[in-house]
Amino acid sequence: MPELFMNGRGRDAVTLVGGAPLATPVLEDALTRAPRLLAADGGADACLARGLVPERVVGDMDSLSPEAARRFADRLVPVPEQDSTDFAKALRGLDAPFVLAVGFLAARVDHALAAFSHLAERGGAAPPAILLSEHDCIALLPPRIDLALQPGDRVSLWPLGPVRARSSGLRWPLEGIALDPAGRVGTSNRAEGAVRLECRGPCLLILDHARLPALLAGLGRGAAPG
Q: How much is the pLDDT for 1?
A: 32
Q: What is the pLDDT along the chain (226 residues), one digit of tens a residue?
A: 333 343 445 589 999 999 999 999 999 999 999 999 999 999 999 999 999 999 999 999 999 999 999 999 999 999 988 789 999 999 998 999 999 999 999 778 998 999 999 999 999 999 999 999 999 999 999 999 999 999 999 999 999 999 999 999 999 999 989 999 999 999 999 999 999 999 999 999 999 999 999 999 999 997 666 5
DSSP string, 168-196: EEESS--TTPEE-TTS--EEEEEEEEEEE
Fold type of domain 144-218: Jelly Rolls (2.60.120)
Beta-carbon count within 10 A of 66 CB: 7
- Terminus-to-terminus CA distance in the chain, angstroms? 40
CB 206 within 8 A of CB 213: no
Q: Helix, strand, or coil here: 136?
A: strand
Q: Output the pLDDT for position 7.
A: 42
Distance between CA atoms of residues 109 and 202, nearest Å: 20
Is residue 137 within 8 Å of 187, Cβ to Cβ? no
Compute the distance between CA of residue 48 and CA of residue 203 in angstroms, rounded to an integer: 34
* CA angle (223, 127, 5) in 5-degree steps: 120
Q: Residue 216 has what pLDDT?
A: 98
Is pTM beyond 0.85? Reply is: yes
What pLDDT is attached to residue 116?
Answer: 97
Angle (CA) 81-87-93 rounded to 5° is: 80
DSSP-derived 3-state class of residue 209: helix
Domain 2-134 class in CATH: alpha beta
User: How many of the other CB atoms lie within 10 Å of CB of 155?
Assistant: 26
Q: Where are the beta strands (DSSP E) in the chain?
A: 14-17, 36-40, 56-59, 76-78, 99-102, 129-132, 136-140, 144-147, 154-159, 163-170, 178-179, 186-200, 203-208
Domain limits of the chain?
Answer: 2-134, 144-218
